Amino acid sequence: MSSLAAAGDHATTWSWLALGLTGAVLLAFVVLFVSALFSILGSRLTGGMKLVWVVFAFCAPFLGSLLWFAFGRRDAGEPVRR
């Protein structure tokens, strides 16, 4: 086997690895976003606050989802103040 063919096989392997890694990251992002939306909509927040979180999640999907799980869920567990 020539070194040129071996280099081509090596590049193909790295291409598939990069494609698989990109797919896994994309799948994790989609799961995070969808789970944040279900969590927001199922929370005990008022309608206005749910709308704010949903809009924020759609405007900044990654950051909005992370912030929801870091801070929003904590606020959603508290009783609704009237």
pLDDT tens column, 24-75: 999 999 999 999 999 999 998 888 999 999 999 999 999 999 999 998 887 7
User: Is 82 among the domain residues?
Assistant: no
User: Is 52 among the domain residues?
Assistant: yes
Flag whether pLDDT at 10 surpasses 60.
Answer: yes
Q: Name the residue among 57, 47, 29, 30 with its Cα closest to residue 71.
A: 57
Top-confidence residue, 81 or 33? 33
C-alpha 6: how far from chain center: 37
How far are the Cα atoms of 2, 8, 41 from residue 72, in angstroms, in the given order?
58, 49, 12
Amino acid 68: pLDDT = 93
User: Is 53 among the domain residues?
Assistant: yes
User: Is 58 among the domain residues?
Assistant: yes
User: Is 9 among the domain residues?
Assistant: yes
* Alpha carbon distance 24, 22 (integer Å): 5
Amino acid 38: pLDDT = 94
Q: Name the residue among 76, 56, 59 with its Cα closest to residue 67.
A: 56
Top-confidence residue, 6 or 70? 70
| Segments forming the whole domain that contains residue 8 | 3-76
User: Is 81 among the domain residues?
Assistant: no
User: Is 65 among the domain residues?
Assistant: yes
User: Is 12 among the domain residues?
Assistant: yes
Q: Residue type for 14, please?
A: W
Number of domains in the chain: 1
pTM for the whole structure: 0.74
